[in-house]
Amino acid sequence: MNRISKILTHHKYIDYIKKNAQAETNRIFCHHDLTHGIDVARVAYIMALEETLEIKKGIIYTASLLHDIGRWKEYEDGIDHALIGAELAVEILVDAGFNSEEILLICNAIKNHRNSAPSNSILGSILYKSDKISRPCHTCNARNKCKRFKEDEKPILYY
């Protein structure tokens, strides 16, 4: 988990998380912060264990922690946060000691974490599902305004 520590203390990771927080100051819905990244990581890791997938815990946690780092750019410029997030992640991953194969795997998962297509990678698919499942919809005060809820207020979950 040394590489995870390098990510969490990386100046650019810290900067991107702060920019997300600034962009979401008045957001009534879920935020894209460290807590969300950790929640996604925990759910994704459990899913990988339950499905007996051979994905290293560190890779799952890394993809989860980095998957929303470009959210501020989406608010700022309308750029898809998944695409820009994958680009922003590269330098952090290199600095944290990931090899080119791992970087490609993680960045592809980040790019596709909004995609439920069957062509998505195993890591991308788990990231997609865990990103949805990890949300605390049942206790959210804004759920009746959220696009993830239908009119009958049942959450759109992706189990």
CA distances from 65 to 35, 77, 138 (A): 9, 22, 23
**DSSP letter (8 states) at residue 149:** B
The per-residue pLDDT for 87 is: 97
Choose among 49, 43, 60, 46: nearest CA to 1. 60
Question: Per-domain residue ranges for the chain?
Answer: 2-145
pLDDT of residue 18: 94
- Whether residue 157 contacts residue 143, with contact meaning beta carbons closer than 8 Å, is answered with no
Looking at residue 23, its pLDDT comes to 78
pLDDT of res. 137: 56
Per-residue pLDDT of the chain (159 residues; tens, 9 = 90+): 699 999 999 999 999 999 988 877 786 556 667 788 999 999 999 999 999 999 999 999 999 999 999 998 988 999 998 999 999 999 999 999 999 999 999 999 999 988 777 677 999 999 988 888 877 656 656 566 656 654 444 444 444
Report residue 68 as tokens: 């929303």
- How far apart are alpha carbons 13 and 65 in whole angstroms? 9
Domain covering 2-145 assigned CATH 3.10.420.10 in the classification: no
Tell me the whole-structure pTM to 2 decimals. 0.84
How far is it, in rounded angstroms, from Cα 44 to Cα 29? 22
* Whole-angstrom distance, CA of residue 3 vs CA of residue 112: 23
